[in-house]
Amino acid sequence: MTNVSNPVAQLLNTGNLVVRDADADDGISTYAWQGFDYPTDTLLVGMKVGVDFVTGLNRTLTAWTSDSDPSPSPYYYMLEVRGDPEMVLCEHSKKVWRSGPWNGLRFSGIPATLTFTGFNFSFINNEQEITYSFNTISSVLSKLTVNQSGALQRSLWVEDIGMWNVIWYVPMDQCDDMRGRPCGSFAACNPNNSPICDCIQGFTPKSPSKWLYREDTDGCVRKTKLDCNNGTDGFHVISNTKLADTSNASVYMNLSLVECKTKCLSDCSCTAYAPADVRSVASGCIIWTSELTDIRVFTNDSYEQDLYVRLAAIDLGQSSTASGKSSKWVTPFVIILVLTVLILACIGYLMWKRRKRRQSRAMQESNNSFHDRSNQGLSSWNDQLELSQKNDLELLLFDFGTIVSATENFSADNKLGQGGFGPVYKGMLGDGQEIAVKRLAKRSVQGVVEFKNEVVLIAKLQHRNLVRLLGCCIKGEERLLVYEYMPNKSLDFFLFGKPKEERLDWQTRFKIIMGIARGLLYLHHDSRLRVIHRDLKASNILLDKDMNPKISDFGMARIFGGDEVEGNTRKVVGTYGYMSP
């Protein structure tokens, strides 16, 4: 701390508490001490995470033990400066998640950065400091937090509801979490595939018997040993990837990508290289001389990050042509290959057309089984969608135009909130009935018939402490669920959104607790369809006009996951902070 003759403490509008000389200007150069240099669990605009080599500061974020206990937990967020620097989330000394290195535009492992509007991200890497920070445009308020559950979250402040809305978090899936190292070395992880792990081209599972049982931690080994002496090795390109762990990699910012390739081929221990800066013409490079671990593949072509993995010529599908002569069979082979691909493509197209015609006929037959309920476009399903032997439930199928009219075309003014499964809007039907419409996110793997059957099953769950499902609407990719409207919002509004003097009295709290318990007892024990909620939290407890609690979203995991009747699952379902370990 710098000595000052007349010290004063000042809390700035940015949230930074500073100590400065009262007789000097309040510029940052005159701060004797500032709170932003000693963050706790939250990073705000203007704060930095990373190392200042001049002052010796190493700024990290450390999660609280609990919401009411600010003592340090085992989870912390820091900048790893070894090799090519990257941000890491740790539990004790073990890495939980890493960002991938900065590629000039973003961290290679955070493609979501491309979708963030209103943000400017900064990464400084020079002799004075290696730090990461962010700024926002206009009046956007944002924070980055490490919570006690071990998740890193970015949130936006929503003024209308007076709450923080989480827009991004990690670890998000199995490929994010490094603790289990699901794929091992020389393997790539893709959460959209099944299984999620696959050996890189030119590699094969180190333990094939374990690989069959999805035990992938041993990773992969080369099919063919590298040929360093004859210079016949080449490179396989993995596109749209989070680069492998760079803590043991070397960075050469003065080399072009071509020079980097040459340098890698001249070193027998080199296993891969990648551009260090992907802006315009790629410049600088990263070189690995060890095993490649924690590689992740993304599906969006706009991520623009390539990894060049060194392979023996035979594993690239090449033949050794040291004399400069190409094999005679290459040309006819290519012709035969092209003709085969064309024939298979034609067969595939004809099969696809045939399947589409069958689906169209099936959909027509299904639609013919619906009859008009009223001039508002309501229909009921026939017992062909009932999973029981008798039709003991009439579930309404709402017309999409009716929903659009009721919600004023999903107007922002009618939006009640945003959950993990999609936004919820308030609506009013033509007869004056108020409804709540959940517009499901377009990520369910179910088809139309499966979705309808699932909704029918959920609608069978009738209890005074469950939110009643009135019906649904299917239009193209749209999946809408229509619920009864709860005028008193959700429980978290009364627990966290009101001043202390206006919060619930204990008689009302006891009434709500008992109602929640009765609803869960029905879901777990008394209902025909056993349901495990897996995302029970205050925002999913809605309150009617008499403050009676009603559990919502109890069927969402079924629609999006499909294994709700099982007690054990390997899927991540729910909200961090409310999930069982």
Cα 111 to Cα 299: distance, rounded to the nearest angstrom: 10
The closest of 107, 292, 96, 94 to 178, measured between CA atoms, is 96
Token pair listed for 455? 């909704």
Cα 578 to Cα 407: distance, rounded to the nearest angstrom: 31
Residues with a known catalytic role: 535
Cα 199 to Cα 184: distance, rounded to the nearest angstrom: 9
Q: Coil, strand, or helix at residue 477? A: coil
Q: Measuring CA to CA, how many Å separate 368 from each of 361, 374, 573? A: 11, 16, 36
Distance of CA 442 to the CA centre of its chain: 14
Q: Identity (one letter) of the amino acid at 251?
A: V
DSSP state for residue 196 in the 8-state scheme: S
* Cβ burial, residue 442 (10 Å; 0-12/13-18/19+): exposed
Instruction: Identify the structural domains of the chain with CATH numbers, from first to last.
Output: 1-36 (no CATH), 39-170 (2.90.10.10), 187-316 (no CATH), 381-560 (1.10.510.10)
Cα 102 to Cα 116: distance, rounded to the nearest angstrom: 17
Residue 396 · residue 379 · CB < 8 Å: yes
Packing angle between helix 448-459 and helix 330-368, nearest 10 degrees? Answer: 40
- What is the DSSP code string of 33-92? EEGGGS--SEE-TT--EEEETTT--EE-EEEEEETTEEEEEEEEEEEE-SSS-EEEEEET
Torsion of CA 451, 456, 461, 465, to 10 degrees: 70
State the Rg of the chain over Cα: 29
- What is the DSSP code string of 149-172? TS-EEEEEEETTTTEEEEEEEE--
- What is the DSSP code string of 275-301? EEE-SSS-EEEEEE-S---SEEE-S-G
- What is the DSSP code string of 494-543? HHHSS-GGGSPPHHHHHHHHHHHHHHHHIIIIISSS----S---GGGEEE
Residue 414 · residue 407 · CB < 8 Å: yes
Cα 472 to Cα 170: distance, rounded to the nearest angstrom: 32
Predicted TM-score (pTM) of the model is 0.54
Cα 215 to Cα 184: distance, rounded to the nearest angstrom: 10
Cα 553 to Cα 195: distance, rounded to the nearest angstrom: 29
Overall size of the chain counted in residues: 581
For the chain, 581 residues long, give each residue's pLDDT as a single digit of tens.
567 778 889 899 888 999 988 877 655 557 888 999 999 999 999 899 999 999 899 999 999 999 889 999 999 999 999 999 999 999 998 999 999 999 888 898 888 887 788 888 999 999 999 999 999 887 788 999 999 988 999 999 888 888 999 989 998 888 888 876 678 899 999 888 888 899 999 999 998 888 877 777 888 999 999 988 777 899 999 988 999 999 999 999 999 889 999 999 999 999 999 999 887 666 789 999 999 999 999 876 666 789 999 999 999 864 333 333 344 455 677 788 888 988 998 898 888 888 777 766 655 554 444 334 333 333 333 333 333 333 344 567 888 888 999 999 989 898 988 876 788 999 998 888 899 998 887 655 455 666 776 677 777 788 888 888 888 888 887 888 898 899 888 888 888 877 766 778 888 889 999 999 998 888 888 877 777 777 788 888 999 988 999 988 776 655 555 444 444 444 455 555 555 55
- DSSP alpha helices (H): ranges in 384-484? 400-406, 448-459
Q: How far apart are the first and last CA of the chain?
A: 42
